[in-house]
Amino acid sequence: MVIKTLEKRINIAKGVEKAELVFKNANIVNVFTHEIIRGDVAIYDGKIMGIGDYSGDEEIDLKGKYISPSFIDGHVHIESSMVTPSEFAKAILPRGTTTIIADPHEIANVKGLEGIRYMLDESEDLPLDVYIMLPSCVPATPFENAGSILKADDLKKLIDDDRVLGLGEMMNYPGVINADQDVLEKLIMARDKVIDGHGPLITERELNAYIVTGIKTEHECSTVDEMIERLRLGMYVHIREGSAAKNLKDLIKAVDKDNLRRCMFATDDKHPRDLLKDGSIDHNIRLAIREGLDPIDCIKMGSLNVAECYGLKGKGAIAPGYFADLVVIDNLDDFNILEVYKEGNLVGKDKEPLFNVKEADNSNMKGSIKIKDITRNDLTIHIKDNVANVIKLQPHSLVTEKVERKVMVKNGEFKPSNDILKVAVVERHRSTGNIGLALVEGFGLKNGAIASTIAHDSHNIIVIGDKDEDMLLAIKELERVGGGITLIGDGKVIETLPLKVGGIMSEEPLHKVDEKLDNMLNIAHEHLKVNKDIDPFMTLSFIALPVIPDIKVTDLGLFDVKEFEFINIESRSY
């Protein structure tokens, strides 16, 4: 900063010179002193110069409306929106979230460092500030094949980037506790930056061991006891409200004046419909207010607390020298976002974006579907007896149950019946030919198949169906379009949502993705008779994640999460 610029700021702050922009007659939310201050907010060169009585070249009379610091999402995977960073920005900026801490874990599992660089480059010139946490677990587990393997030496290449704040969620908590050398190297690499946690099952001494490595945050708390234990040990806790995991109503009751400053808001994963309907961090704030928490405390959890946790200087408050990232709100009860300003520029009004984005270059993220030729024989489940281990789905839950069922067998081959379907996970990154097979109960599909290249966390092709021919067609359709979600019925492609960017993101606007998904959801429930208590696309995407109990399937086979080992489809207990 040159001396003349500093002199200019001093003169504006003193009122000797006019500001560029002044918000007049505002009810200003002060997150430092927990009060509402009536006055003006003066802005110059994208920053706040002062609060009080000011005049400006441009003046906006708020007539008593509330003005708040804008919001920061403390932990989010952009890829879960199924759109690129620029389209994601169009959705959340008009709802008041102007900064996000993103973990590009999903694209990194497909494209490695190239995927992380893509997210950095594609979000570089957005009015949304996108900070990155380097994915710590690629692949997420050793029980599946992802598109990349990222070691500490790989991550070192990006750790000093100005927009890289640290190491993303450390899901491999057994590796931390047992001092796995690869894990320790990553922790040491990031020791001078923030390290995000992901350890929902650990407690007492093991939790101490987890935290002593420098892990600072936790977003996986689902109970008050988990949350309090982590707060007592000095962690920051993200109170999460996303599409799959909704923990806010359970956790917010434990927030009080003594622990408030260590609590933050996050969305983690949010799908198109929920982003368009509910918004982002503004939704967390509204829910918390409805649950009885003071509105200023809610704003503080969605702004200042996150900024301080991640060292985001000049963000999270309305004060001299802070960025003019501001939200105009009608009242603090309904919390309707009227206008959003980024560094003093109007970027959103009435939930609509008021900015343009450059056309993204997604070319290096395409062509991610690489599979060997597959025949019907590759999908055959050979079984001698008629008793099998089955993945039983739970309504509205990602947790599955391991059950034994008598199944239909003809000539030594499993045949779908009694709501027990076949599911296959096809490795799609390196053409290894790996195919994991399993049986699923509770999905409800009839006369067709559903397939997706969104299959957490390695994002191989996952397909479920009651006819091998339809399952095979679904796989071929996803190969044809370069990744996505497809519905097959009676030997024909009914509808497909292409996700050509890594097989997990669309090049289309969010509202178009949402419209197609909504139509496909109706087809799945009405035409293919999928259980209406099941979101077929979300449910399918998590059947392949071998870190959520009790039983899952990867490209390497059927996996018992509790026993932490692969098992046979055919049960031996009878």
> DSSP secondary structure string, 260-286?
GGGEEEE-B---HHHHHHH-SHHHHHH
Type of residue at 61: D
Considering only residues 211 and 399, tell me which one the structure prediction assigns the higher pLDDT.
211
Q: How far is Cα 436 from Cα 423, in angstroms, rounded to an integer? A: 8
Q: What percent of the chain has pLDDT over 90?
A: 93
Taking CA 244 as the corner, what is the angle to CA 150 and CA 226, rounded to the nearest 5 degrees?
A: 80
Give the pLDDT band (50/70/90) at residue 354: very high
pLDDT, tens only, 274-316:
999 999 999 999 999 999 999 999 999 999 999 999 999 999 9
Q: How far is Cα 267 from Cα 99, in angstroms, rounded to an integer? A: 13
Give the pLDDT confidence score for residue 574 in this predicted structure: 45
Give the pLDDT confidence score for residue 397 in this predicted structure: 82
pTM of the predicted model as reported, rounded to 2 decimal places: 0.95
pLDDT, tens only, 183-238:
999 999 999 999 999 998 899 999 999 999 999 999 999 999 999 999 999 999 99
Q: Domains in the chain, ordered, with CATH?
A: 3-64 (2.30.40.10), 70-313 (3.20.20.140), 366-566 (no CATH)
Conformational region of residue 566, where left means phi above 0, alpha means psi within -120 to 50, and beta covers everything else: beta
Give the pLDDT confidence score for residue 501 in this predicted structure: 98
Place of tokens 């009060």: 35
39 forms beta bridges with 26
Mean pLDDT over residues 506-526, rounded? Answer: 97
Give the pLDDT confidence score for residue 563 in this predicted structure: 87
Q: How far is Cα 113 from Cα 116, in angstroms, rounded to an integer? A: 5
401 forms beta bridges with 392
Q: How far is Cα 30 from Cα 44, in angstroms, rounded to an integer? A: 20
Task: Specify whether the CB–CB gap between 524 and 448 falls below 8 A.
Answer: no
pLDDT, tens only, 257-278:
999 999 999 999 999 999 999 9
Does position 26 have pLDDT exceeding 50, yes or no?
yes
Helix 85-92 vs helix 510-526: angle between axes, to the nearest 10 degrees?
Answer: 90
User: What is the rounded average pLDDT for all residues in the chain?
Assistant: 96
pLDDT, tens only, 60-92:
999 999 999 999 999 999 999 999 999 999 999
Give the pLDDT band (50/70/90) at residue 1: low
Place of tokens 């599955």: 400
Which stretch of 325-329, 392-396, 468-472 has the lowest confidence by average pLDDT?
Answer: 392-396
Give the pLDDT band (50/70/90) at residue 376: very high
Q: How far is Cα 98 from Cα 302, in angstroms, rounded to an integer? A: 11
Considering only residues 140 and 433, tell me which one the structure prediction assigns the higher pLDDT.
433
